A and B are shown apart, each in its own frame.
Chain A
Amino acid sequence: MAERFRAFSFVDRITELDPGVRAVGRYAIPVPVGRFPASLVAESVGQLAAWASMAKLEFRRRPVAGLAGQVDFLAAASPGETLDLEVHINTCDDDAVAYGGSASIGGERIVVLADCVGPMLPIEEFDDPAALRRDLETLLGPGAPAGRFSGVAARATNILDRIPGERVRAELRVPGSAPFFGDHFPRRPVFPGTLLLDSQIELALALARELPAFAGRSLVPACVRDVKIRAFTPPGQVLELRVEVLEADADRATLSLAARGNGKPVSTGRVEIVSGRAG
């Protein structure tokens, strides 16, 4: 499949690998993608952890979705920049991988993941184990070709109802087809939790801009906490997103994030928004 190992793959090379213990790698953000959100930087760290855990379990199982205890967004990444990735695996067995890690640019950490857990599921349901082994060889050897990722089409959220500065309910129509589904995952398309998170963060930023204390200031996500993916989202599903301000002061707002699909919880979490420089 043309999209496999391309359309949603965010590790280009693995320079150090101790399966089930640690890994170091890198990813060059292609220039044409235009935007590379913080959630995809976190995705690239998570993908490096996935390689380190799949290698440990000899490609019998792979982590899918899961939870992120804390992800700090320290600086933004821009197309054309190269992410230096590192992960440390705390535990890795047939049930779960627990890990932390970071992405850096030019020696400065821009995203830090802590207390992350990926449930391990049978790999055959999602991808061809032999193809994954070959991909790992590529990553450990010459590296994957640069510029594989060509960006993700903007996902429109339709506002269903809102109380400005308090809460918003919106609908996200997951596309029925998209290149990333061919890579995430080749045998079972699942809407990536990090793309969902990106939409949720955008809604949270819009809501936080309505807070009087933040008026006229530029806002950025500082961190997400307790993000938990509770169900797989197939192509074409309509998700209901709810974002609510939990607390806010002059410099920081904490908002809850929830997504539901087919009447069931799909994800939960919290985001902290901080004011950056004066806008």
Chain B
Amino acid sequence: MQKEITTEEIQAVFPKVAQIIADALGCDIDQVKPEVPLIEGLDAESIDFLDLIFRLERAFGVKIPRGKIVEDARGDLAEADFEQKGAVTEIGLKRLKEFLSEVPADRFKTPMKAADIPKLFTPETFCKVVIRAQRAQAAA
């Protein structure tokens, strides 16, 4: 199990991540609060997530495979245990809540469609993506 990500680590990368999100979405940086849902709060679409990942890779000099957030949330859980017929399983949802600890509990719906997982993502989610990628790079 990886060491938990600290508030200080998130605060250290947040300004740069927020600027990248503002650039990718074409919005004002003041709108990019750590907890704002990117899809419902800032009108992000799937192409924006792709854009965001590539921009973060370039800005932080890290490698972030696409689909990494869900893959990391799943961890050692088999795909069939995490998701069945497009819906996140009970144990999958528990994993997701732990992994996306920055997301308020009331935003996790039951049942939750796997395709709706990106609706949970916030700027803080992407701060954590960057920090994990930095750690992975440092460990390599």
Contact = CB atoms under 8 A, between A and B. Distances in A.
Interface of A: 65-67, 93, 95-96, 98, 115, 117, 119, 226, 228-230, 265, 268
B54 A98 contact: yes
A115 B66 CA distance: 16
Contacts of A96: 50, 54, 66
Contacts of B40: none
Given A115-B58, A119-B46, A95 B66 contact: yes
Contact of A119 (B26, B43, B50): B50
Given A228-B48, A268-B26, 15 more contacts: A67-B47, A67-B50, A93-B65, A95-B50, A96-B54, A98-B54, A115-B58, A119-B46, A226-B23, A228-B47, A228-B51, A229-B47, A230-B47, A230-B48, A265-B43
B66 A93 contact: yes
Interface residues of B, number: 14
Contacts of B66: 93, 95-96
B9 interface: no
A66 B26 contact: no
A98 B43 CA distance: 23
Interface of B: 23, 26, 43, 45-48, 50-51, 54, 58, 65-67
Contact of B45 (A66, A93, A95, A230): A230
A-side interface mostly: strand
A66 B58 contact: no
Contact of A67 (B43, B51, B58, B65): B51
Contacts of B50: 66-67, 95-96, 117, 119
Contacts of B45: 230
A267 to B, nearest CB: 10
Nearest to A90: B54
Nearest to A265: B43
23 contacts: A65-B47, A67-B47, A67-B51, A93-B65, A93-B66, A95-B66, A95-B67, A96-B50, A96-B66, A98-B54, A117-B50, A117-B54, A119-B46, A119-B47, A119-B50, A226-B23, A226-B26, A228-B47, A228-B48, A228-B51, A229-B47, A230-B45, A230-B47
Nearest to A66: B47
A228 B26 CA distance: 10
A226 B20 CA distance: 12
Contacts of A93: 65-66
B24 to A, nearest CB: 8
